[in-house]
Structure 1
Amino acid sequence: MRLISINVLKTGMMIGRPIWNEAGLPLIRKDVVVTDSLISRLKQLGIQYVYIDDKISEGIEIEETVPLAVRKKAVKQITAAFQKIKGLDNKSATLVIDKQTKEIGNLVDDILSSILNAEEILMILSDTMLYDEYIFQHSFQVTLYSLAIAKEMGYSQSDLRTIGIGAILHDVGKMVTPSDILFKPGRLTDEEFETMKQHARSGFDILRNLHTVSLLVAHCAFQHHERIDGSGYPRALVDYEIHPFAKIIAVADVFDAVTSNRVYREKMVPSQGIAIIEAGRGTMFDAKVVDALKKSVVHYPNGTILLLSDGRRGVVAKQNDQNAALPCLRIFEENNQLLKTTYQLDLTQETNVKIEKVDTEYIFETE
């Protein structure tokens, strides 16, 4: 199967991967034939990319690192925990969260087990599950990215667990942010943004008095919007003043934000998100954390079509564990001509060839 933009999806194509709702039920099943009404439905849902099955990508498998069952359980628990504190004051919210930290810790253990046992680098397909409120899926995915980064950096099992809990709860302060600001479908005014920024401090105030988890969890919430050059908030801390765990979550938070569906802008593919983070390496983001992100997450998911600098096109067939930025391709086109027989190309062995772009809007002449 391969990844294709909704902009070029056509009737007659076949859906290659189901799309699930928050209840874990398939909204759109695998092997459904695309119709005009289905395309309209996908656009209404805000889906920007889908996987389709075709001959050129036959046999290419796309599997997330964390099983669907773990994802569903995780988001359900995060949603339940966060919903219980909506409308409460900080002290009451602390009491509610305190009673749930055992379940949250167990959830982190489940996620961590999937990541530690994974043979390949981390792959997340955020378009395959839909949720009414972005914050819950975001908290789950930030946890995945944070743990993958921290694993790459060599943190101990105990530290990984603390980082995971801090990542799940990093945005808990948003539950006391006014809903009209939190879910506004457009750019915030300066005044609204100042209100939004208070969620970092609110999260700290909710979490710092927990009796069941480390105080570092509260600092993850407090500092995940700080930047090492002092340009972040809420306290404009600089490099040495920011806890290393918060530096990890800061990178994971931005990476997931730009590579996920949002009401006010289109999502980026992972390679574009990594480029955004890379642009802030050593200024906004800790260089070691950025390097660990680049090594630990998939840049070009399986099924993605890439255009190479020598004019060849190929679909990503599998990942290279030794270099996440250089996958193995199934070449199907040279000089704008479809090949009668495809062949494999390992980009780690092609030092003179570069990736020009991710071609999600490429259509075969026969389609």
Structure 2
Amino acid sequence: MRLISINVLKKGMVIGRTIWNEAGLPLIQRNVVVTEPIMHRLKQLGIQYVYIEDEISKGIEIEETVPLSVRKKSVKQITESFNQLKGLSNKSAALVLDKKSKEIGQLVDNLLTSILSSNEILTVLTDTLIYDEYIYQHSFQVSIYSLAIAKELGYSRNDLKTIGIGALLHDVGKMLIPSEILFKQSRLTDEEFEIMKQHTKTGFDILRNIHTISLLVAHCAFQHHERIDGSGYPRGLVDSEIHPYAKIIAVADVFDAVTTNRVYRNKMLPSQGIAIIEEGRGTIFDERVVDAFKKSVVHYPNGTILLLSDGRRGIVVEQNPKNAALPFLRIFEENHERINNTYVIHLADEPNVKIEKVESEYIEYVE
């Protein structure tokens, strides 16, 4: 299967990966032939990229690091827990989460099992599930990215669990933000953004009163929008004043935000999101965290078509665990002409060849 932009999806193409709705039910099944109504529905849902099956991508499979069953169960748990907090006081919200702390810990343990048992680079496919409310999927994915970064940095299992819980609950304060602001279907005004920023302090106040989880979890909520140059909020902390866990979650939070569809902004591809993080390395994001992040997250998912500097085109068939930015490619085109005998190259073995761009709108050559 290969990843293509919805802009070039056509009738007759075959869906390569099932798309699920917020209830965990299949919206569009794998192997379904694309029709006009399906194209219209996908655009309606704001889907930007889909996986299709074709000759170029024959035999290429994509597996998420965290199994789909774990993802669906986790997001359901997050949704149910967070929804119970709406309209409550900080104290009442803390009591609700205190009762849920064992369940939350088990959820993170399940994610840890998936991540620690895999030697592969982290793969997360956000366009295979559709959620009406962004915050729940975001909390889940920030936890996955944070755990992958922390694993690369060498944290112990106990530390990893604390980081995972901190990441899962980093936005819990948002559930006490007025719904008309939290779920607004357009950009926030300056006044609304100031209210939204209060979620860091609110989250801290809720979590620090839960005695069944570490106080460090509360600091993750409080500091995940702080930046090492002092430009963040709520306190404008600088490098050494920010807890290392919060530095990890800051990177994970921004990466997921830019690589996930929003009503007011289209999602970026992973490589574009990584470039955004790299731009902030050493200025707003901790250097060690950024370096660990780049090693632990897939830059070009399997099934992505890349144009190379020497004019060849290839499709990613396998990841390189030693260098996430240099995957294995199946070359299928040279000098804008399809070749009969495709072959696989390892970009790490061709230092003079660079990736020019991701070609999600590539149209397959037809004789």
Task: Indicate the SS of the match to 1:357.
Answer: strand
Matches of 1:41 and 1:185, distance apart in 2: 19
> 2:333 aligns to what?
333
> 1:228 aligns to what?
228
Identity of aligned residues (%): 75
Matched, 1:270 2:270: yes
> 1:124 aligns to what?
124
1:89-128 matched pairs, under 5 angstroms: 89-128=89-128
Look up the equivalent residue of 1:102 and give its one-letter code.
K
Alpha-carbon deviations, 1:187-232, whole Å to 9, x = none? 2111111001000000001101101011000000000000000000
1:1-367 matched pairs, under 5 angstroms: 1-366=1-366
Alpha-carbon deviations, 1:234-279, whole Å to 9, x = none? 0000001000000000000000000111111110010100000000
Task: Indicate the SS of the match to 1:339.
Answer: strand
Look up the equivalent residue of 1:306 and give its one-letter code.
L
Deviation, 1:366, is 2.1
Task: Indicate the SS of the match to 2:306.
Answer: strand
Deviation, 1:131, is 1.1
Alpha-carbon deviations, 1:8-67, whole Å to 9, x = none? 101110000000112221000011111111100000111110000001110001110000
Matches of 2:16 and 2:190, distance apart in 1: 43
Look up the equivalent residue of 1:186 and give its one-letter code.
S
Look up the equivalent residue of 1:250 and give its one-letter code.
A
Alpha-carbon deviations, 1:132-165, whole Å to 9, x = none? 1110000000000000000000000100000000
Alpha-carbon deviations, 1:315-365, whole Å to 9, x = none? 000000110000000000111001111110100000000001110001013
Deviation, 1:119, is 2.4
Gaps of 5+ in 2: none
Matches of 2:105 and 2:58, distance apart in 1: 40
Matches of 2:341 and 2:29, distance apart in 1: 30
Aligned pairs, how many?
367
Task: Indicate the SS of the match to 1:341.
Answer: strand
TM-score of the pair, normalised by structure 1: 0.99
Task: Indicate the SS of the match to 1:55.
Answer: coil
Matches of 1:283 and 1:182, distance apart in 2: 29
Task: Indicate the SS of the match to 1:51.
Answer: strand
Task: Indicate the SS of the match to 2:170.
Answer: coil
Alpha-carbon deviations, 1:151-187, whole Å to 9, x = none? 0000001000000000000000000111111122222
Matches of 1:337 and 1:365, distance apart in 2: 8
Gaps of 5+ in 1: none
Q: CA RMSD in A?
A: 0.8
TM-score of the pair, normalised by structure 2: 0.99
Look up the equivalent residue of 1:28 and give its one-letter code.
I
Matches of 1:26 and 1:318, distance apart in 2: 27
User: After the TM superposition, which segments of 4 or more aligned residues of structure 1 sit over 2 Å from their partners?
Assistant: none
Task: Indicate the SS of the match to 1:219.
Answer: helix
Alpha-carbon deviations, 1:78-136, whole Å to 9, x = none? 01110000010111000000100100000000000000001211000000011111100
